[in-house]
């Protein structure tokens, strides 16, 4: 069953009625974020820079500052969660996202400077779903690499799979990033992928099943 998140913020409510408000909301949120940074209310996030062999270079970059040199990479993690009944926890991206708005995905994000890959995936999962996977079975399944010289965005992705005891009542999704969640079967995930609305599916599909 798909569990939507209901919000009270005017900005997010307007998205459902008029696509033009998506742009307005995104710009307003970006403006508010920049003002907070100017006032020192938001701590700037940095990522470590890795070489082609996935070894730290000792240099860092600002988060989402796409000006990477050839041979430089940042590291991202994805965490696939499966319960004992065989269903997978997936979340739906908010409509204010700059890209892939409304698509389904698994938890993940950038590895912060000084943070290990496993620390990052545990942090991202608990931030985005409220589930602590420290005692779950599983771990790193594989890593893939993407080179995007035109966008100056090169990265590695560590793909994890964890299995543990959790139900819908245990999930507390991050409202700022998520419109809802679902404990989905593999067939449901494949259906979303066929519709072209499941993020990263072609890159991570072998982790399912």
Round to whole Å and give the CA distance between 181 and 186: 15
Q: What is the pLDDT of residues 67-101, one digit of tens each?
A: 899 999 999 999 999 999 999 999 999 998 888 99
Q: Is 141 exposed, middle or buried (0-12, 13-18, 19+ CB in 10 A)?
A: middle
pLDDT for 69 equals 93
pLDDT for 13 equals 35
Contact by Cβ (8 Å): 90, 182: yes
Using a cut of 0.75, tell me whether the model's pTM lies above it.
Answer: yes
pLDDT for 209 equals 72
Q: Name the residue among 7, 57, 49, 37 with its Cα closest to residue 153.
A: 49
pLDDT for 181 equals 96
pLDDT for 121 equals 98
Which residues of the chain fall below pLDDT 70? 1-42
Q: Name the residue among 194, 193, 78, 95 with its Cα closest to residue 129.
A: 78
pLDDT for 177 equals 85
């Amino acid at each position: 069953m798909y569990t939507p998140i209901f919000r009270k913020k005017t900005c997010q409510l307007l998205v459902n009625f008029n696509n033009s408000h998506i742009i307005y909301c995104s710009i307003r949120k970006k403006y508010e974020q920049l003002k907070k940074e100017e006032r020192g209310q938001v701590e700037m996030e940095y990522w470590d820079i890795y070489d082609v062999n996935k070894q730290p270079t000792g240099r860092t970059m600002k988060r989402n500052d796409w000006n990477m040199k050839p041979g430089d990479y940042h590291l991202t993690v994805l965490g696939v969660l499966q319960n004992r009944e065989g269903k997978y926890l997936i979340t739906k991206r908010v409509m204010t996202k700059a890209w892939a708005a409304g698509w389904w995905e698994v938890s993940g994000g950038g590895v912060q400077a000084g943070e290990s890959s496993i620390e990052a995936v545990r942090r991202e999962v608990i931030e985005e779903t409220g589930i602590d996977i420290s005692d779950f079975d599983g771990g790193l399944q594989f890593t893939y690499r993407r080179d995007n010289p035109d966008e100056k965005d090169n990265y590695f992705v560590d793909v994890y799979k964890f299995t543990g005891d959790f139900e819908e009542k245990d999930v507390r999704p991050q409202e700022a990033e998520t419109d809802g969640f679902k404990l989905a079967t593999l067939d449901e995930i494949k259906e979303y992928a066929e519709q072209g609305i499941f993020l990263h599916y072609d890159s991570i599909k072998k982790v399912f099943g």
